[in-house]
């Protein structure tokens, strides 16, 4: 087993976290006295029910004051949009590069934010050297990668997306190199390795197009039920929720609930909704209400902060527009987090 240098840093991190937590508590006390504004940000509103509200972030943009102000103002959790993926963290076999991820973790810890980990094993964004491996060489690479990366950030990560996007729309396994080379057992091997590397992180399976009761979510449901029955370590399921304004969410909440009933937490991990105005806001509202209605739905992450920096190009899918102005969708989410008790948006006659 590889023991990465970060295992020593874990001790330092724990000390720093205590110091940071103390600072954050002091700041919170000072801020809350006299202002009573706690439920006017996404993060504070989510926190009132014990949930987080997060955003996917890019290390370089943390130095952009407008970007970091929006992040600090509304979010209490972050995830790396790309910086913790395999191609970024292990560009050559056994040679790790944690710089981007460390920047995000340090930023979050200095502000008392949670960090989600994304993602240890995925068919996409693999470095070239992994794509060419076969059989046991690929297995050893996967296990070494999990050990190196989850070990490095052990103690820093609230929940890890251990495996990402391993199912097809029809509920069968995706025919990736991992599946073809390693067979059905690779997912549980990954989860066991992640538990060994970071016993404190919650371990999630994460996927898209799982926004209701459908053949794909059925397949994942069966896997999670099987893992729970056999004691394979799994703690949570992530629902990416890349949506559009006309997405059918009629069974979205029921789907979250059936996973929760298996004894795992559920998280909305990559939420974004193409569109604009009331139609977009309505989809955001429905997702937020569904999470609020499921006690094991522990939080929501949007896949970015501003439409100016979104992987979905010109679909304007996020809560802040390209000029960092709060959109209708923002106020719909805030209101849903506050169970309908928010102040109406500025300049607006009522709730969106
Ligand atoms: C995306 C990033 O947003 C892009 O910057 C990158 O070029 C490709 O990956 N599902 C996932 C995320 O789990 O990691 C993807 O992120 C979006 C789809």
Q: Mean pLDDT lowest for which of 25-34, 216-225, 271-280?
A: 25-34
Which of 167, 270, 309 to mutate for ligand 1's pocket (most ligand atoms within 8 Å of CB)?
270
Q: What phi, psi does 99 have (nearest 5°)? A: -65, -50
Atom 7 of ligand 1, residue of closest alpha carbon:
311
Give the pLDDT of residue 19: 43
**CA–centroid distance, residue 277 to ligand 1 (Å):** 25
Average pLDDT over residues 248-254: 98
Ligand 1 atom at shortest distance from the alpha carbon of 310: 3
318/7 Cα distance (integer angstroms): 36
> Regarding predicted confidence, which is higher, 319 or 32?
319
Give the pLDDT of residue 91: 98
258/256 Cα distance (integer angstroms): 6
pLDDT at 27 over 60: no
pLDDT at 158 over 90: yes
**CA–centroid distance, residue 125 to ligand 1 (Å):** 9
Predicted TM-score (pTM) above 0.75: yes
Give the pLDDT of residue 9: 36
- 127 Cβ contact partners less than 8 Å away, ≥ 6 residues apart: 86, 87, 90, 91, 92
* Chain CA centroid to CA 26, Å: 28
Average pLDDT over residues 287-312: 98
Residue that is written with structure tokens 């910086």 in the block: 83
Q: Are strands 52-57 and 77-80 parallel, antiparallel or unpaired?
A: parallel
Atom 13 of ligand 1, residue of closest alpha carbon:
164
34/144 Cα distance (integer angstroms): 51
Two tokens, residue 33: 């006295």
Residue that is written with structure tokens 């040679």 in the block: 95
Q: Model confidence at 264, in pLDDT bands (50, 70, 90)?
A: very high
- 313 Cβ contact partners less than 8 Å away, ≥ 6 residues apart: none
> Regarding predicted confidence, which is higher, 337 or 35?
337
Give the pLDDT of residue 281: 98
240/293 Cα distance (integer angstroms): 18
**CA–centroid distance, residue 344 to ligand 1 (Å):** 33
The reply to whether CATH 3.20.20.80 applies to domain 42-337 is yes
Give the pLDDT of residue 346: 74
Ligand 1 atom at shortest distance from the alpha carbon of 303: 3
- CA angle (336 as vertex; 244, 285 as ends), nearest 5: 10
- 293 Cβ contact partners less than 8 Å away, ≥ 6 residues apart: 253
**CA–centroid distance, residue 121 to ligand 1 (Å):** 13
Q: What phi, psi does 106 have (nearest 5°)? A: -65, -45
- CA angle (172 as vertex; 170, 175 as ends), nearest 5: 115
Q: Which residues are catalytic?
A: 165, 270
Cβ 105 vs Cβ 150: under 8 Å = no
Residue that is written with structure tokens 């076969």 in the block: 134
User: Which residues line ligand 1 at a C-beta cut-off of 6 Å?
Assistant: 81-82, 164, 208, 240, 270, 311
The string of pLDDT tens digits covering residues 95-153 is: 999 999 999 999 999 999 999 999 999 999 999 999 999 999 999 999 999 999 999 99
Q: 324's torsion region: left (phi>0), alpha (psi -120 to 50) or beta?
A: left
Which of 123, 303, 306 to mutate for ligand 1's pocket (most ligand atoms within 8 Å of CB)?
303
Ligand 1 atom at shortest distance from the alpha carbon of 161: 13
166/207 Cα distance (integer angstroms): 7
**CA–centroid distance, residue 140 to ligand 1 (Å):** 25
User: 3-state secondary structure string, the chain?
Assistant: CCCCCHHHHHHHHHHHHHHHHHHHHHHHHHHHCCCCCHHHCHHHHHHCCCCEEEEEECHHHHHCHHHHHHHHHHCCEEEECCCCCHHHHCCECCECCCHHHHHHHHHHHHCCCEEEEEEEEECCCCCHHHHCCCHHHHHHHHHHHHHHHHHHCCCCCCEEEEEECCECCCCCECCCHHHHHHCCCHHHHHHHHHHHHCCCCEEEEEECCCCCCCHHHHHHHHHHHHHHHHCCCCCEEEECCEEECCCCCCCHHHHHHHHHCCCCEEEEEEEEEECCHHHHHHHHHHHHHHHHHCCCEEEEEECCCEHHHCCCHHHCCCCECCCCCECHHHHHHHHHHCCCCCCCCCCCCCCC
- 351 Cβ contact partners less than 8 Å away, ≥ 6 residues apart: 331, 332, 335, 340, 342, 344
pLDDT at 36 over 80: no
The domain locations on the chain are: 42-337
């Amino acid at each position: 087993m590889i023991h990465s240098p970060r295992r020593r840093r874990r001790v330092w991190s724990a000390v720093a976290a205590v110091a940071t937590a103390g600072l954050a508590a002091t700041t919170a006390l000072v801020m809350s006295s006299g202002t009573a504004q706690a439920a006017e940000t996404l993060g504070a509103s989510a926190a009132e029910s014990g949930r987080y509200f997060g955003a996917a972030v890019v290390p370089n943009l943390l130095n952009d004051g407008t970007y970091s102000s929006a992040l600090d103002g509304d979010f209490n959790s972050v995830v790396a949009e790309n910086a913790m993926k395999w191609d970024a963290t292990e560009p050559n076999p056994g040679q790790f590069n944690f710089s981007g991820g460390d920047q995000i973790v340090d930023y979050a810890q200095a502000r008392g934010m949670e960090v989600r980990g994304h993602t240890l094993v995925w068919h996409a964004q693999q470095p070239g050297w992994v794509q060419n491996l076969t059989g046991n060489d690929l297995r050893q690479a996967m296990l070494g990668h999990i050990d190196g990366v989850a070990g490095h950030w052990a103690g820093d990560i609230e929940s890890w997306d251990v495996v990402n996007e391993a199912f097809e729309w029809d509920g069968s396994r995706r025919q990736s190199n991992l599946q073809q080379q390693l067979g059905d057992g690779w997912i549980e091997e990954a989860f066991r390795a992640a538990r060994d590397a970071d016993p404190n992180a919650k371990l999630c399976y994460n996927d898209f197009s799982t926004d209701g009761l459908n053949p794909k979510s059925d397949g994942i449901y069966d896997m999670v039920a099987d893992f729970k029955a056999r004691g394979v370590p799994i703690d949570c399921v992530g629902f990416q929720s890349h949506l559009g304004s006309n997405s059918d969410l009629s069974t979205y909440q029921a789907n979250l609930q059936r996973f929760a009933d298996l004894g795992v937490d559920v998280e909305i991990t990559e939420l974004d909704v193409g569109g604009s105005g009331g139609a977009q806001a309505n989809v955001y509202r429905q997702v937020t209400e569904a999470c609020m209605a499921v006690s094991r739905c522990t939080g929501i992450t949007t896949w970015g902060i501003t439409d100016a920096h979104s992987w979905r190009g010109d679909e304007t899918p996020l809560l802040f527009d390209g000029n960092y102005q709060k959109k209708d969708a923002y106020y719909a989410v805030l209101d849903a987090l506050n169970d309908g008790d928010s102040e109406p948006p500025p300049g607006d006659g009522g709730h969106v």
